[in-house]
Amino acid sequence: MGHLLSKSKYIRGLQCERALWLDVYNPREARYSADAFRRFDAGRTFEQTYKNTYPNAIDISERLKYNRDDYPQLTEELLDGEGVVDLFEAGFAYDDVLVLADVVHKREDGILDIYEVKGGREVTVTFIEDAAVQYYVISQVREVGRFSLVCRGEGDSFSLTDVTEIVMERKALVAERMAAMKKVLAGGEPGTEPGDQCTRPYECPYGKHCAKGIRQLMMDL
């Protein structure tokens, strides 16, 4: 049985509750632009460059591929091992929400430091929201020390920003929003009309789907 929410669905839900509903129940309606694919590719390349700085890390996604529901179990087993452990795509689940962390570093004292890699040059509100939902889930199951965002620095360097205090303060807000999103998902497709939210912070992939609804409405008038 899959988890109801994930980090990306949470971010989608912050943009628009209809987009969240479609992501869960009708994702085949999504249409991504060539620009969006280019952004994903650039983000993945940058992420891999940062991951290369952890030569001994274990990549959970290489072992389990698309069996995402199994990630938390293997993550737990590996983190229960002795000493320092570095993991890529470690999975954590709590309250029907699954998050995968880009880089998890388990220190000698057993506490986890988390690194979320983002392709941008500056920390944005969306990056903070992304970190906050991860912190919300991971801190329910393990002790988290520092949470850092990794962005592009000067030249080929990385720019790390410690956002631990900020994400700690957002825990209650994340819990509230999660509850609201679950309510949305318990109902039918919301009738949200297209507006400013369709392009902020990202271009929504359901533009054609929602425009179809409007066209149908006009024809029925």
CB of 213 to ligand SF4, least distance (A): 8
In the complex with ligand SF4, the residue whose CB is nearer, 153 or 195, is 195
Contact between 19 and ligand SF4 per CB under 6 A: yes
Query: What does the DSSP assignment read for 139-187?
Result: HHHS-EEEEEEEEE-STT-EEEEE-HHHHHHTHHHHHHHHHHHHHHHTS
Longest CA pairwise span in the chain (Å): 68
Give the three-class secondary structure for 59: strand
Residues within window 143-202 making contact with ligand SF4, judged by CB under 6 A: 192, 194, 197-198
Neighbouring CB atoms inside 10 A of 22's CB total 22
Q: Which of 87, 97, 101, 210 binds ligand SF4 (CB under 6 A)?
A: 210
Q: Which of 7, 9, 18, 142 binds ligand SF4 (CB under 6 A)?
A: 18
Contact between 16 and ligand SF4 per CB under 6 A: yes
In the complex with ligand SF4, the residue whose CB is nearer, 124 or 192, is 192
The torsion of the CA quartet 73, 77, 78, 81, rounded to 10 degrees, works out to 160
Residues within window 44-103 making contact with ligand SF4, judged by CB under 6 A: none
Contact between 204 and ligand SF4 per CB under 6 A: yes
Give the three-class secondary structure for 127: helix
In the complex with ligand SF4, the residue whose CB is nearer, 174 or 198, is 198
Distances from the Cα of 164 to the Cαs of 8, 45, 143, 160, in angstroms? 20, 25, 12, 12
CB of 35 to ligand SF4, least distance (A): 16
**Interface residues with ligand SF4 (CB under 6 A)?**
15-16, 18-19, 22, 192, 194, 197-198, 204, 206-207, 210
